[in-house]
Structures are given as structure tokens and as C-alpha cells.
Chains A and B, each alone.
Chain A
């Protein structure tokens, strides 16, 4: 009788065949899986080779120390032989401050730098609400950044000490009451304006006091005449304060206590300072306006809806350039005779309106994507319109529209370069043109454009990465 053989223990699994694992198989599967793929890979390699072989010597022969393009070329020819190409980064080394700050006074560079650092401190409680660790990390980074850059930018001892105290206070606040940081965010616009443009410190304080007036009037009157009317009266009171009371008050206070920074005119702004000023202001103002316009467009009230639609479609139908020219040429027709205000402010207003129309459309998409049941549930709970929007509708709609909103912001930031056409010195056309008009640097083009493009890329790319992070963080459905 034949003996049956039964294995008593399992054999270990065989290793996969050599052709199915390792680098070779990866290459075969991902690069040479078929004739078409092989051709594509070869084409890709060919273009990569062409790109690298034509630009690598240019990068390797970079010259950092020279005073003109001609000198750069002589150095390259001397070191790498006749006919060699080389980048001339000396132009960036010599003119980097114009690319970043325009004609802002050199001894005051610490002011925009400080404003930028504090911008992140002001954004932190909004971007990372309530996350103590992230807040501390950001504030720490801001502190280190300012520690390095403020002395380089020529800040005095007093300013340095004040900043140190401020940052220490913010750090303490972020660990004890993270919500309290929002107060800093609220006063940041005034602070930033004062740092950038200078003048007596009383101007931003008096401007912010307008909001205090609004709040006080609202709180005093709302128990007696109701919320909507009190809000209206408060708004009127604040406008009256800004129009009539603010000037004399600032004048008196500045006479009594002359504290302030040297004034900087708008035409000295330029480079990335200008782009970031316009971009950040327009971004932060366009979001609330965009939300209101989107709600207006979704509204049942026919007149409100018609006005919103007309505004949005008009703005979206014309190029930004025409709106910028409106700011520089036409606003003088539409405002009372003799009114003339700052060109940067005019541009910011028009860019804000432009961006808000696009954001309104993005948010409308989010509102439309919400299931009808959400609106009905909010009504069933007895919430009024604003409560329903604030608590139920907008949080969900905004979450859906985050990618669209951020890409609008990126578009807006890129569009700030168009202010060059109304005579402002944007980093791309304005400053580069000035540099290229210099007799020493005539004929240079790759280097300034690569420098400016790289900075734009870093800013826009990090914005889009942040939006992806936010999308992942807020994702609550399971798919």
C-alpha cells in the first residue's frame, strides 16, 4: 500500500521572480510597458536631455560679482572659454532691493518686513484656529524671521524692543487664550497701514475708533429700537466719524503727542511690496463682498438678485485691465469734482471688486451644491435667514468652495502684476523695465524674469498646497 505523504508544516512563500520585482520590473512597467509608452519615454528623455544640456552650462557658469552685463560676459568667457554662456546673477545681487521694495526708503526697509512678519502672526489664528502647537510654531518662526531681518532692515532699538514685547505677549496669549489672538488680527490692518505709509500713529487709531463708535452706538440703541435699525444708525454714526470728526481729532492728538513714523509716498512703493500689499488687501476684502454677492444672487428678492447678477456678469465680462484704467482715468469723472485719492487705494478698490465677482461665482457653486434638505432643515429649526446662513449653510458651502476660492486668490495675486499698466511699479514689468533700461544691464532678460517668476511660483504654489491641506482637514465624509 502506497504511503500517503501529508506535509505537516507550511513552506515559506517563494520570493517573487526577479522579473516581477526590483528596479528592473519597475522600469519595465512604468516606462517601457508597450510600444507607445516606450516612444513617449524616449521622447521625454530626449527633451529632458536637450533641456539640461542647453541650460546646465548656463547655470554652472553663473556670475555673482560684476557691475555690468559686459563684465559678466568677460568673466564667463575668461573662466569657461570663448562662446560659453553663463547666468549673470550679479544683476539680482545689485538690484534685489528694487525687486522687493521698489523705491521704498532704504533705511525704512524694516517697516515692510515687520508688516510682513506680523501679517503671518495675524493670519495664524485664522488659518490654524485653536491649534496651540501650530500657533506657537508660527509665532516662533515669525519671531526668528524678525530677529534676523529687523536689524538688517535698519530698525532702531526702540522698535526692536516694542516688537519683542508684542511677540512675547502674542505667544503668551496663544497658549492661554488662543481666541484672544483674533483681536490682534482685527487691529492688524491699521497697524500695517501705519507701518507701510507712516505718518502719525493717531490716524490708524482714529480710523479703528470708528468701529468702536459703531459698536457703542449699536449696543446702546439695540435694546430700544431693535437690531436692524440700531445697526443702520451705528453705521451712519461711524461714517460721520470718519468723514468729519476723524481729521480734527487726529490733528489735535498729533499736535499734543507727535508720535509717528516718517511718511512714505505711494509712488515709492514697488516690487513685491506693492504686489503683496495689493494682493493681501484685495484678497481679505473680496471674500466678504463675494459672500454677500453670492447670497444676493441666490436671494428670493428679485431686485437684490438682479443687481447682484448684473454686477457679477459685468465684472466677469470685462478684462481686469479695463477696470484698472477705470481706476486711473475714469474715477475722476465719477467722483465729486476735486476728489483725488491715492492711486494704490483706487487700484485696490477696483481689484477687490474684480476678485469679489469671481469669488461670488465660486461660492454660488458651493451654495448650489448643498442639498435642498439643508435649507429646509434650517427653516424647520426656526432659524432666521442670517442664523441659517451663518450656522448651517455657509460653513458647508464655503468648505465645498475652498479649492475654487484659493485658485481665485492665486489668480488675483498673479493679476497684481497688471498694475504696471497704470504706472505702478510691479515687480514684473515695472521694476524689470527699470533694471533693463540701465545702461549696465541692457540686454539682460532671463535672470530678472527667472528671479521674479520663482518668487511668484513659491507664493502661489504654497497657497495651492495650503488649500489642499485645508481640504483634507475639513473633509468629513467617508469615501
Chain B
């Protein structure tokens, strides 16, 4: 009778490290780790030697030294007496503000174009195809440079807006005029838009190195409360609908909840607009927006919107035709079909690539250097780096900051993605 015998126990040989699949993985990993460790050690050694040869030390102390340069767009108070860290913060905020508005505008435009590209209207869908292909196949840098050049060279000088007494007498029009009911002036020096001002603002509280703007804080809090109350209202309406089958009419209540508190708050704080006006050689008053910001924002928006349009189109096309046919069979109108049936499903396909477009847009804001927009790259990685000569510290810090921004965006968007994805049961 045959007996099952154990596999004869092999003694361990050195060659088994390579040829035995039980040990090979370990061997490879140890070798990889060793090589990587050696590589890192080699890099660090080189860095130490190079720093010593240049007589430098790795030190971030320079961040607290006086910066000594001006930044033309500052969202927090900054003078050239502030330190480099403050300049870094100003630059970081400039990066974030372009990225923020860019993402919003690009999403709106992209969805619009993506839906229109699928339109049955032959002319409109062709026009949108031309737009998408044109912007996707030409470098972003070209759009940034071109829009900046158009703004700064093709726009009229401030003096072209002047209306003199002789011109009034002769019935002549000035060479250039302001847009949107005399509220926006685009000159070759910058764009002047009306500035929101509060005559009875709440002031601000100084908290050490940042000052907290109470007006802004109050607006945010009121808006947040309104949105929260509106969600409660909608939830209760849904509960009523599920209990009785009839959805109560709430649109005017929700409009009231969303608008009334903020309007009241603005009236209480004395909200008014400060319009720009031509005084002397340039426009005074209002908010001066530098062309570098406008050009960067426009170029980023148009460029990214073309990519988002493609994503939206692919997402809508990924939903099978049966879905829209079923919706039509239920008697839904095309608009309702889109908003209730197609888009919620398409959203699941759209969001993951949308996240990477937002990341791309944020990283592409660093191209602002082409039009001298002082973002993080322009302050920390530009002027600060050149002034202090600390390439290693500045570049490493800048990379870490960009990395953190990217990780934050993808974390937030991934969380949102989780809430819209199908819940697997």
C-alpha cells in the first residue's frame, strides 16, 4: 500500500535565493532596498559635499528675513518690509485664487460645451468641436501669452477714455469707452472693476500673524447657515413627499431662506460698489485687476474647459441609450431626462477624470511666471530664491507645498466621488 510521504526536506542552498520562488521575492526586495538606500545615501552625500563646497548650510532661517520686493496682487496685507514667509503666503494665496476661479469657470464652460457638442444641432456641435480640438491641441503657454499680449498691447490707453470739453462741444465720442454700464474699464495697464465696499463693516481682529476680517467671516457664517437651513427645508419637503405622495411647493421659501439673510446683512453693513473713474492719467477707485491675473485665468479656463468638455461628452455617451429611452417612455421631458436620469449617472463616470483636470489646472497655474504673475512659483521659487540664493531650500519647500495642495484637492474630490458612486449592496 502506497503511503503518502512528505516531500524530502531540502537543505537550504544559496542559489535558492534566486531560483526558488519562495525566496525570490524577498531577495529581489532586499536588493532593491539596498540599491535604493545606496542611491539615497549617494545623493545625500553629494548634497552635503556640494553645500560644503559652496559654504552654505541647509537652513530655513532666511524665511524670516526682510523680503524687500513688492507684489502687485496681494490678498493679505503685505509690504516690501514683510518677511519672505509672508511673501510666500501672498504667493500661495495668489496661486489658490487663480486655481479656485479657474476650476469653477472651467467646469461651467466645460459642461456647457460638452453638452452642446452632443446637441443634434449640426452647426452648434461643429462649432464646439472646433473649439475643443483647437484648445486641446495647442500648448497652454500659447493661450496665456496670447491673451496677455492682447490685453496689454491691443487694449486702449487710459487717455483714450478721456472726454474733454471740446469733444463734447464737437459731439465726438472718446476713442474707447467703459463696458457694462460704465462699470468696467479695460486699459492696457489693467482692468478696473467695481469694488464691493462696506461703509459700516465689522473691522478685523488681529490674531498675531494673521488678521481676521470679521466682515468676511460674518458673510461666510450667514451664507453657511442659509445653505444649512435650505437643506433642512428640502429634507422636510422630501419627507412630506414620501409620506403623502405630494411634494409641497417650497421654491419661494428656499429662495427667501437663501437670499433674505445675506441681503439684510449687506444692507446692515452698508454695502455699496465703488466704481472706477478716470482721474489724472489712470483709472482710480474700484478694484484694479492686473492683466497677468486676467490673462492667466482666461487662458486656464478656456484650455481646461476644452478637456472638461471631452470628459462630460464621454460621460454622457457612456450612459446607454436605453436609459434615455426609458425616461422618455415614462413621459419625462428632455430637460428632466437630462437632469434626473442621465446626468446623475454620467456624474459617476465624469468625476474621477474631472479630479485630475482640477489637479492639472492647479499645477498649470505655475505657468503664470510667463506673464510675471507672482504666485507661489513667482515669489518663493522666483524672487525669494534669486535674492537669497537658497535654491535647495526654496525648491524643496515649493515642491512640498504643491504636493500638499494636490493631495488636498484629490482628497476632497475623492470624498465627493465616494458620495456619488453607486453604493454596492
A348 contacts chain B at the CB level, 8 A cutoff: no
Which residues from chain B contact A453 at a C-beta distance below 8 Å? 138-139, 142
Whether the Cβ atoms of B36 and A307 lie closer than 8 Å is yes
Question: Given contacts A333-B46, A443-B153, A460-B138, are A418 and B367 in contact (CB under 8 A)?
Answer: yes
Whether the Cβ atoms of A449 and B381 lie closer than 8 Å is no
Whether the Cβ atoms of B142 and A317 lie closer than 8 Å is no
Which residues from chain B contact A300 at a C-beta distance below 8 Å? 25
Question: Given contacts A325-B381, A333-B391, A460-B137, are A301 and B145 in contact (CB under 8 A)?
Answer: no
**Cβ-Cβ contact count across A and B, 8 Å cutoff:** 153
Question: Given contacts A41-B121, A449-B142, are A333 and B50 in contact (CB under 8 A)?
Answer: yes
Whether the Cβ atoms of A322 and B145 lie closer than 8 Å is no
Whether the Cβ atoms of A417 and B141 lie closer than 8 Å is yes
Q: Tell me if B's interface is mostly helix, strand, loop or mixed.
A: helix
Which residues from chain A contact B136 at a C-beta distance below 8 Å? 410, 460
Interface residue count for A (Cβ, 8 Å)? Answer: 59
CB-CB nearest in chain A for B395: A330
A335 to B43, CA, bound (A): 7
Whether the Cβ atoms of B406 and A316 lie closer than 8 Å is yes
Q: How far is the CB of B139 from chain A (nearest CB, A)?
A: 4
Q: How far is the CB of A150 from chain B (nearest CB, A)?
A: 30
B366 contacts chain A at the CB level, 8 A cutoff: yes
Q: Tell me if A's interface is mostly helix, strand, loop or mixed.
A: helix
A337 to B55, CA, bound (A): 13
A47 to B124, CA, bound (A): 10
A64 contacts chain B at the CB level, 8 A cutoff: no
Whether the Cβ atoms of A322 and B395 lie closer than 8 Å is yes
Which residues from chain A contact B178 at a C-beta distance below 8 Å? none
Which residues from chain A contact B138 at a C-beta distance below 8 Å? 414, 453, 456-457, 460
Whether the Cβ atoms of A445 and B150 lie closer than 8 Å is yes
Whether the Cβ atoms of A322 and B32 lie closer than 8 Å is no
A337 to B50, CA, bound (A): 6
Whether the Cβ atoms of B121 and A445 lie closer than 8 Å is no
Whether the Cβ atoms of A318 and B18 lie closer than 8 Å is no
Q: How far is the CB of B351 from chain A (nearest CB, A)?
A: 15
Whether the Cβ atoms of A461 and B29 lie closer than 8 Å is no
Which residues from chain A contact B363 at a C-beta distance below 8 Å? 318-320
Which residues from chain A contact B134 at a C-beta distance below 8 Å? 457
A245 contacts chain B at the CB level, 8 A cutoff: no
Question: What 0/1 pattern do residues 196 to 225 of A give for CB contact below 8 A with B?
Answer: 000000000000000000000000000000
Name B377's contact: one of A40, A304, A319, A449 (CB within 8 Å). Answer: A319
Which residues from chain A contact B141 at a C-beta distance below 8 Å? 417-418, 420, 428-429
Q: How far is the CB of B37 from chain A (nearest CB, A)?
A: 11
Whether the Cβ atoms of A321 and B121 lie closer than 8 Å is no
Whether the Cβ atoms of A40 and B369 lie closer than 8 Å is no
Question: What 0/1 pattern do residues 27 to 44 of B give for CB contact below 8 A with A?
Answer: 011001100100000010
Name A40's contact: one of B116, B149, B150, B395 (CB within 8 Å). Answer: B116
A319 to B369, CA, bound (A): 12
Q: Which of A17-25, A30-38, A130-138 contacts B (4 or more CB under 8 A)?
A: A30-38
Name B122's contact: one of A30, A226, A319, A421 (CB within 8 Å). Answer: A30
CB-CB nearest in chain A for B133: A461
A314 contacts chain B at the CB level, 8 A cutoff: yes
Whether the Cβ atoms of A456 and B142 lie closer than 8 Å is yes
B255 contacts chain A at the CB level, 8 A cutoff: no
Question: What 0/1 pattern do residues 46 to 72 of B give for CB contact below 8 A with A?
Answer: 110111010000000000000000000
Whether the Cβ atoms of B121 and A31 lie closer than 8 Å is yes
Interface of chain B residues 98 through 125 with chain A (CB within 8 A): 116, 119-124
A-B contact pairs, 28 of them (CB 8 A): A30-B123, A40-B121, A41-B124, A44-B121, A44-B124, A48-B123, A301-B29, A316-B406, A317-B406, A319-B364, A319-B402, A321-B377, A322-B395, A333-B391, A334-B43, A334-B47, A336-B46, A337-B46, A337-B53, A414-B137, A428-B142, A428-B145, A449-B145, A453-B139, A453-B142, A460-B136, A460-B137, A460-B138
Beyond A410-B137, A461-B137, list 7 extra A-B contacts (CB 8 Å).
A40-B116, A302-B29, A304-B29, A319-B366, A330-B391, A414-B137, A429-B145
CB within 8 Å of A: which residues of B? Answer: 18-19, 25, 28-29, 32-33, 36, 43, 46-47, 49-51, 53, 116, 119-124, 127, 133-134, 136-142, 145-146, 149-150, 153, 359, 363-364, 366-367, 369-370, 377, 381, 385, 391-392, 395, 398-399, 402-403, 406-407
| 9 nearest CB pairs, A to B | A460-B137, A319-B363, A317-B406, A317-B403, A414-B139, A319-B366, A30-B122, A303-B29, A329-B391
